[in-house]
Amino acid sequence: MAPNVTPPENEEVRPPGLAAWMVKHSLRSQDREEGLAAFEDAFADDYAQTGDLPAARRKAYRDGWDALQWAYKPVVDISMYVLAITGVVLAMVAVF
């Protein structure tokens, strides 16, 4: 039997901490406060529309992950190129 995850009516519903952390660290320091406020507003709107807290939390995690990937994609791409070039160099050294 699934536990009841509906919060009490007088309690404020906030996005998951990990999702907020991902959004926070994907933004520049000048934009963090405004970005986090927009993220919390979007979470509250999603929860108000659906009334399903687990679904709203899942969407918040997806949004946080997407923001983090978008912010660090250039770093990951460059790292993959460096890794590929290093592999080729090491393979050539092993052959000669």
Q: Could you tell me if residue 1 is inside a domain?
A: no
Q: Could you tell me if residue 72 is inside a domain?
A: yes
What are the residues whose beta carbons fall under 8 Å from the beta carbon of 53, sequence distance 6 or more?
Answer: 5, 6, 7, 13, 47
Q: Could you tell me if residue 88 is inside a domain?
A: yes
Digits of tens for pLDDT over the chain (96 positions)? 556 666 556 467 888 999 999 999 898 888 889 989 999 999 999 998 988 889 999 999 999 999 988 888 888 788 888 899 999 999 988 887
Contact of 58 with 18, CB cutoff 8 Å: no
Please report the pLDDT score of residue 21 as a whole number: 92
Q: What is the pTM of this model?
A: 0.67
Please report the pLDDT score of residue 38 as a whole number: 92
| Number of structural domains in the chain | 1
Q: Could you tell me if residue 4 is inside a domain?
A: no
Identity of the residue numbered 8: P
Structural domain boundaries, residue 75:
17-95
Q: Could you tell me if residue 12 is inside a domain?
A: no
